[in-house]
Chains A and B, each alone.
Chain A
Amino acid sequence: MSERHHIIPVWFFVGLLLLTYGALILISGIAEWRDPPPTVLAKLHAPVWWGSLMVMLGAGYVAAFRPGRDA
């Protein structure tokens, strides 16, 4: 993002946050698989597939924009 300042791209931080949050949500979804919370459509196990999507996207961003990638 920044050529003059050599700042780590904001996309790296976005990826890190998505990866961390995705992992927490995925783990929480797996943990509650047998005993889902009393929310509507809990049988769809949204935390599992939503968390997985976040992990994949986050990992992609982290890999693509990690510091020192162009070095």
Chain B
Amino acid sequence: MVRLHSVDLAIIAIYFLAVICIGFYLKRFAQSGEDFFLAGREMTAWVAGLSFLSANLGSLELLGWAGSSYQYGILAVHWYWIGAIPAMLFLGIVMMPFYYISKTHSVPGYLQLRYGKAASGLSAVSFGFMTILMSGVNMFAMAKVMQVVLGWNIHFSIWVSSLTVGIYVASGGLFSAIFNEVLQFFLIWFGALLIPILGLIEAGGWNGLVARIQHNFPNQNFTHAWSNLGHFENNPMGMHWTGIVFGLGAVISMGYWTTDFLVVQRVLSAKDLRSAKMAPIIGSFFKMAVPLIVILPGLIGLAVLPDKLVPESALQPGQHSYNDVLPLMLARYCGPGLMGLGVTALVAGFMAGMAGNVSAFATVWTYDIYRPFIRKTAPDQHYVSMGRWCTIIGLFISIGTAYVAMGFASIMDYVQALFSFFIAPLFGTVLIGMLWKRATPLGGFLGLLAGTLTAIGIFLSMKFDHNLVAVFALSSQAKGLAQDMYQALWSWLVCVLVTVVASLATAPRPAAELVGLVYGVTPIPKEENVPLLHKPIFWAGVALVLFVILQFVFW
């Protein structure tokens, strides 16, 4: 357990005070629906881009992937590179114009314009349900880390963090959430970057690090990203390159980064189309660098920690699990002051994760469930007030979920898997809707439903009958993450197939109704007189080249 000094406690207390004060300051600006739910649509590309990235850079993510890199080695980097960069660039260049031009408030809102209420309602309900669950899981994870690392009371952590998030999000809406995500971005970098710097000094640079890992774990390949993906049994993840490229790169990451409203909402807050296109591209450059503070600490742990870490399920008294690697490295290098900064970064990450989920929940509930299905016409102020109440109610439900998660050790894994059920098919539905004008409302709804049911069906069948792993994930050696990749791929394929077949069997919508929603019938503003350095496509190209170079460097 880590001992905090007075300077560390002061740093943590200042953070709580700062976010509450900022929330109260922003309250006066969040008066209309557009202000509260979309931060007035006036964020610059940099603010929207950093917020877009930070919404995904929660502490659950940091601790989990640092642990995964200790467990699987540099293979975990795929979730940051091929599992993010192409999708972020695709969102910026191809999909953002449709989201932005349609002036939708949310992804289910886009589905309503494109396919009608049925598909939109289905995605809104599933998204709202999952978001609130994720918020609770985030809350529990934070309380658990604070208990293990700092010895804090679990109930104290849950209630203090929830009340703080409730105050600042209910006050300033998306303004508050975005401000805090930008603060969190800086805190996480300054709180965690010292670990790889000091770790590499201790290990003797990259070559020294690789040599130490090979010495500590002979006959295991922890430092190559692609060369050991030819066979399922050649790597610690039980993964094949097809799962990484097609399951992760083409479906899961595309689904997450382009249709998960939690992240897309940040980009929709941009002040104009160019900023909206640039935001995910700016985010992609930083995303490529995140492995420095997440993957590298895990690898440094493999090289320098005297005791080997073990899986959570095999934990004995006195041992540490894979997920403890980041706090352990923090304690190894950071004394008073720096430790407080590191802990504040983790707390900020957890709170931003909760804030992101509840603000997205409030938007989807108010605009995609309450307004279309419960109260169609009401003054704007009524919906803002509904958004504020939803934030509070959503947090209380999240607290309930956190206590439920406490009773089930593996519920976090299940909730993460559940989340992916809805993302992969949703990507199929949105993508076809944007690129194919022949897709019809019934096709969209049935495709989404069939894709979701396929994902749930495959997940349950693999859980209950392990022999089916070889059928759906192509090898009985495929482990949890590999199974997720193929599950997503199949559900996406079923969604696309059903959407196409059902659309061809039903009457198409007139092209005039699809203006602003579908490629080919939507005039996209040209950027002919914009200097090269201001063009999103130029920076997307630079990001893509950098991404390819990184693959070869760590092949």
On A, residues with C-beta under 8 Å from B are 1-5, 7-8, 10, 13-14, 16-18, 20-21, 24-25, 27-29, 32, 36-37, 39-42, 44, 46-47, 50-51, 54
Contact = CB atoms under 8 A, between A and B. Distances in A.
A39 B333 contact: yes
A47 B340 CA distance: 11
Interface of B: 5, 7, 10-11, 14-15, 18, 22, 25-26, 29, 35, 40, 42-44, 47, 175, 178-179, 182-183, 186-187, 190, 194, 198, 201-202, 304, 331-338, 340-341, 344
Contacts of B337: 24-25, 28-29, 47, 51
Contacts of B194: 46, 50
Nearest to A48: B337
Contacts of A37: 335-336
Contacts of B187: 17
A46 B14 contact: no
B74 to A, nearest CB: 23
List of 6 A-B pairs having minimum Cβ-Cβ separation, nearest first: A37-B335, A28-B337, A25-B337, A5-B29, A28-B7, A10-B182
A4 B336 CA distance: 43
B42 A2 contact: yes
Interface of chain A: mostly helix, strand, loop or mixed? helix
Given A13-B18, A40-B332, 15 more contacts: A2-B42, A10-B47, A10-B179, A14-B186, A16-B18, A17-B186, A24-B7, A24-B11, A27-B7, A28-B7, A28-B336, A32-B335, A40-B198, A46-B198, A47-B338
A21 B341 CA distance: 8
Contact of B183 (A14, A25, A29, A50): A14
27 contacts: A2-B29, A2-B40, A2-B42, A2-B43, A5-B29, A5-B35, A5-B42, A7-B29, A13-B18, A14-B183, A17-B15, A17-B18, A17-B186, A17-B187, A20-B14, A21-B11, A21-B190, A21-B344, A25-B337, A37-B335, A39-B331, A39-B334, A40-B333, A44-B201, A46-B198, A46-B333, A46-B335
A54 B44 CA distance: 24
Nearest to A54: B190
Contacts of B341: 21, 25
A5 B38 CA distance: 13
A47 B10 CA distance: 16
Contacts of B22: 13
A34 B333 CA distance: 17
A46 B29 contact: no
Contacts of B336: 28, 32, 37, 47
Contact of B338 (A2, A5, A13, A46): A46
B333 A47 contact: no
Contacts of B15: 17
A8 B25 CA distance: 10
Interface centre among A17, A37, A47 (most CB of B within 10 A): A17
A45 to B, nearest CB: 10
A25 B42 CA distance: 35
A7 B43 CA distance: 11
Contacts of A18: 186, 190
Contacts of A42: 335
